[in-house]
Amino acid sequence: MSNNTTLPKFTNLIQLMQYFSDENVCLQHLKEMRWANGVYCPHCGCMKVYSFTDGKRYKCSDCRKQFTAKVGSIFENTKIPLQKWFVAIYLISSHKKGISSLQLAKDLGITQKNAWFLLHRLRHASNTSAFNAPLSNTVEADETYIGGKEKNKHKSKKTEGTQGRSTKTKTPVLAVVERGGLIKAAKSENVDSKAIGKFITNNVVLGSTLMTDEYRIYQTIKWLYKHNYVKHGAGEYVVNDCHTNTLEGFFSLLKRSIVGIYHFVSAKHLDNYLNEATFRYNSKDWTEHDRFNMLLSATAGKRLTYQSLIANS
């Protein structure tokens, strides 16, 4: 990420809005974030481009197409001013539990449909490669289930055998977190030793210390790690430094956001909500300024159409 931008350090929304006072200032900042190493054509990658005197448009010397800094990013073809997008980036990245499309629509003066689409595009962008490094040292692994609570459903709608660990009405989420480090979480079709093994070995350096509960599927990869576990079934939650409390805290915040703010999350969009939640966790110690720029710099190459969002998967 480039820190060589003209955006002064800001610590609150008022300062952000004072700086991004019009569309042109926003576009200039977007250019600085996207093209820190020089302008290139988003259509073909060519670096020989001509700039127009309006300071906004460019033309590629190779494919001859015109473009602005918005082309090839989540901002392509948007009718919402960049200033509103930038405020949304601030809100989504700094509010601990996120923001609902209803609230964002009111705050920005846009329709809820536009706010919903805007939030999904930002969640899509928040799946940044900045947090791709594998985890090591001491890592907690656990799984949770997102979906309708069986006990709140009418008796006739209840599904047999859905108490606790079941994938019949809920979507499983697997997660690992390094103590004092990054978190990774992903939706999973199944919760079996194959799915868990693949997720953990893809994300955690072999030989690390792994903390789990006693669920037997974690036993199948124990020879790859220094495995410690607590027996939740026997009332054990913390034994010396062995616990999964960091992940329990993350899951609890995730569920409260989903129930309290988003009300409902379909399995189709769950990955996007996980992108948002893990981005927020992984950037929690960053300044507002750095978090904003990180999410903004991740918007390039992430075009997401409304059709693909609403299509049945």
Interface with Zn ion, residue 141, by CB under 5 A: no
Is 76 or 236 the residue whose CB approaches Zn ion more closely?
A: 76
- Contact at 8 Å (CB) between 174 and 196? yes
# binding residues, Zn ion (CB under 5 A): 7
Is 60 or 175 the residue whose CB approaches Zn ion more closely?
A: 60
Number of Cβ within a 10 Å radius of residue 291:
20
Query: Taking the complex as a whole, how short is the minimal distance between the CB of residue 59 and Zn ion, in angstroms?
Result: 9
Is 40 or 250 the residue whose CB approaches Zn ion more closely?
A: 40
Query: Taking the complex as a whole, how short is the minimal distance between the CB of residue 50 and Zn ion, in angstroms?
Result: 11
Residue position matching structure tokens 């576009």 = 27
Q: Among residues 33, 41, 254, 277, which is the contact residue for Zn ion, using CB under 5 A? A: 41
- Contact at 8 Å (CB) between 108 and 79? no
Interface with Zn ion, residue 46, by CB under 5 A: yes
Is 38 or 109 the residue whose CB approaches Zn ion more closely?
A: 38
Query: Taking the complex as a whole, how short is the minimal distance between the CB of residue 45 and Zn ion, in angstroms?
Result: 7
Q: Helix H segments across 46-164?
A: 82-94, 101-108, 112-125
Reported as half-sphere exposure (CB side, CA atoms, 13 A), residue 273 has a value of 29
Q: Among residues 13, 44, 47, 239, which is the contact residue for Zn ion, using CB under 5 A? A: 44
Interface with Zn ion, residue 289, by CB under 5 A: no
Query: Taking the complex as a whole, how short is the minimal distance between the CB of residue 58 and Zn ion, in angstroms?
Result: 9
d(CA 41, CA 39): 7
Interface with Zn ion, residue 36, by CB under 5 A: no
Q: Among residues 15, 17, 43, 57, which is the contact residue for Zn ion, using CB under 5 A? A: 43
Which of 222, 203, 190 shows the shortest CA–CA distance to 282? 203
Q: Which stretch binds Zn ion (CB under 5 A): 59-67, 156-164, 205-213, 305-313?
A: 59-67
Q: Which stretch binds Zn ion (CB under 5 A): 54-62, 81-89, 162-170, 199-207?
A: 54-62
Return contacts of 116-122, CB within 8 angstroms, 24+ apart.
117/306, 117/309, 118/80, 118/85, 118/88, 119/88, 119/92, 120/269, 120/272, 120/304, 120/309, 121/74, 121/302, 121/304, 122/74, 122/88, 122/89, 122/92, 122/276, 122/295, 122/299
- Residue 137's contacts (CB-CB under 8 Å, 6 or more residues apart) are 178, 179, 181, 208, 209
Number of Cβ within a 10 Å radius of residue 265:
19
Is 60 or 82 the residue whose CB approaches Zn ion more closely?
A: 60
Interface with Zn ion, residue 60, by CB under 5 A: yes
Q: Which stretch binds Zn ion (CB under 5 A): 33-41, 96-104, 207-215, 242-250?
A: 33-41
Q: Among residues 36, 47, 63, 206, which is the contact residue for Zn ion, using CB under 5 A? A: 63
Structure tokens at 305: 């159409």
Binding site for Zn ion (CB under 5 A): 41, 43-44, 46, 60, 62-63
